[in-house]
């Protein structure tokens, strides 16, 4: 068992790769009552074209299969729904699908091993029939229609579609009514067998546990499945250029919503260092303590700090700045002006140090909550990152590096504006 310790947060992660290829990460939290378990597969909405280990032919499946599978795994052959079973145990259980992974989880104070029994049972025993697949199409179809009218989702998805020509990140995670109509039980079983192999999965457990003992408990509950070879994921060629600079949609909203997007080069060299630098830059440019934020707030153009994100995974990377404004176009123009001003005048050392300390404090704070820790370690693992890297890499960020990232990433020709108005 590998042990990685970070002295800054006084935390250890115990990592064991089992014979079947499953990676198990345990983060012990002595004296903490809450316990959290999350089991994920490196399979999200982006994987609709792939080569199964041992095959030579490319397999293409409809969009939305990963999310459809997530819904169906709870349904058991004996007629029960595992989500109901877990709720009856008094645990908070859930599941989610992202662009690059799907995860099943629960949080509890008591009944941990009973909940672990249920979670590990349903994830390893899929049950699909023609009837239950058809029934699910209706449920997911309603979800798709609901999201089509959801302004916060539309302003986000429109932003992604304004940036990307071909990459599947531009496709809604749930798919479309048309794409899910093509899903059948054979496709679900094929994708399950391919992507739910233990060698493509990882498990993170956080709480007051003894790691060696807990590993034995995990092993006891695993089915006898052998590790498979590498899955070849196929993504279409994506041009560097954006699709369009502005996209607008009319929906019922009290105030217009906006997302400013910046398409980035998906080359993931030194990705953690780059991610931290972008986080610092976003806070310097339009964070709560920035001059631009104060100006926009005082002029009544924005009412709260926009959300600032850098998203990246296989074949894509982008910045998203999202919020509400009665004049989103002016917010966009002012942001572009601020970027050019900082490029010209440089980053102020005192502002840089202040923001850097604030972000470092945020990283430390994440280690107070078992759910934050577990979800972070899982998501980072599928990106090839150890979450402790952020605590180490932040030390090496300099003003010079920041200014280089500002020049390389914050280019006007790569910027888009997505707006949803009444």
Q: pTM (2 decimals)?
A: 0.93
User: Which stretches of the chain drop beneath a pLDDT of 50?
Assistant: none
Phi (first) and psi of residue 53, to 5 degrees: -50, 130
Do 258 and 417 touch, CB atoms closer than 8 A?
yes
pLDDT tens-digit map of 178-208: 999 999 999 999 999 999 999 999 999 999 9
Inter-CA distances, 30 with 43, 208, 280, Å: 32, 5, 33
Four-residue CA torsion sign, 265, 268, 270, 274: positive
pLDDT of residue 79: 87
Domains of the chain: 2-233 (3.30.830.10), 246-421 (3.30.830.10)
Neighbours of 300 (CB within 10 A): 10
pLDDT of residue 7: 87
pLDDT value, residue 348: 93
**Which pLDDT belongs to residue 338?**
97
C-alpha 405/C-alpha 422 separation (Å) is: 36
Give the per-residue pLDDT at 268: 74
Residue 269 has a pLDDT of 82
With CA atoms as reference, report the closest residue to 205 among 39, 404, 397.
Answer: 39
Alpha-carbon distance of 330 to 300, in angstroms, equals 12
The per-residue pLDDT for range 251-271, each reduced to its tens digit, is 999 999 999 999 999 887 899
Known active-site residue 329: no
Ranges of beta strands (E only) in 266-350 are 307-313, 316-324
Contact 391, 367 (CB under 8 A): no
* Active-site residue identified among 11, 47, 70, 136: 70
The pair of three-digit structure tokens given for residue 47, joined into one six-digit string = 């994987």
pLDDT for 8 equals 87
pLDDT value at residue 155: 97
Q: What is the pLDDT of residue 267?
A: 80
Greatest Cα-to-Cα distance within the chain, rounded to the nearest angstrom? 67
**Tokens, residue 41:** 């597969």
């Amino acid at each position: 068992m590998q042990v990685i310790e970070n002295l800054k947060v006084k935390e250890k992660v115990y990592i064991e790769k089992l014979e079947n290829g499953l990676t198990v990460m345990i983060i012990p939290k002595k004296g903490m009552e809450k316990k959290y378990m999350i089991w994920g597969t490196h399979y999200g909405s982006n994987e609709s074209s792939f080569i199964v280990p041992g095959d030579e032919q490319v397999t293409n499946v409809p969009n939305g299969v990963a999310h459809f599978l997530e819904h169906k795994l709870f349904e058991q052959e004996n007629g029960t729904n595992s989500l109901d079973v877990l709720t009856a145990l008094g645990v908070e259980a859930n599941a989610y699908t992202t662009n690059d992974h799907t995860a099943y989880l629960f949080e509890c104070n008591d009944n941990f091993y009973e909940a672990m029994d249920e979670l590990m049972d349903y994830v390893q025993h899929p049950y699909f029939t023609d009837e239950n697949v058809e029934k699910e199409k209706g449920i997911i179809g309603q979800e798709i229609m609901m999201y089509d009218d959801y302004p916060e989702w539309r302003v986000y998805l429109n932003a992604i579609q304004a940036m990307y020509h071909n990459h599947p990140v531009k496709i809604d995670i749930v798919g479309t009514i048309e794409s899910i109509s093509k899903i059948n039980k054979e496709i679900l079983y094929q994708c399950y067998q391919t992507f739910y192999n233990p060698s493509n999965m990882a498990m993170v457990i956080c709480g007051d546990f003894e790691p060696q003992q807990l590993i034995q408990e995990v092993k006891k509950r695993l089915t006898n499945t052998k590790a498979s070879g590498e899955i070849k994921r196929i993504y279409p060629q994506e041009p560097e250029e954006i699709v369009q600079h502005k996209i607008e949609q009319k929906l019922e909203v009290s105030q217009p919503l906006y997302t400013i997007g910046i398409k980035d080069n998906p080359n993931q060299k030194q990705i953690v260092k780059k991610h931290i630098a972008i986080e610092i830059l976003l806070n310097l440019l339009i964070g709560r303590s920035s001059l631009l934020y104060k100006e926009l707030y005082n002029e009544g153009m924005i009412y709260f700090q926009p959300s600032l994100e850098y998203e990246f995974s296989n074949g894509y990377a982008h910045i998203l700045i999202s919020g509400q404004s009665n004049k989103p176009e002016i917010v966009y123009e002012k942001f572009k002006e601020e970027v050019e001003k900082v490029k010209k005048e440089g980053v102020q050392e005192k502002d840089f140090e202040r923001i850097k300390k604030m972000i470092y404090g945020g990283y430390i704070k994440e280690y107070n909550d078992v759910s934050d820790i577990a979800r972070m370690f899982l998501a980072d693992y599928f990106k090839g990152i150890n979450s402790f890297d952020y605590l180490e890499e932040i030390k090496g960020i300099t003003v010079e590096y920041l200014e280089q990232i500002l020049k390389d990433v914050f280019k006007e020709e790569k910027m888009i504006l997505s707006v949803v108005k009444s």
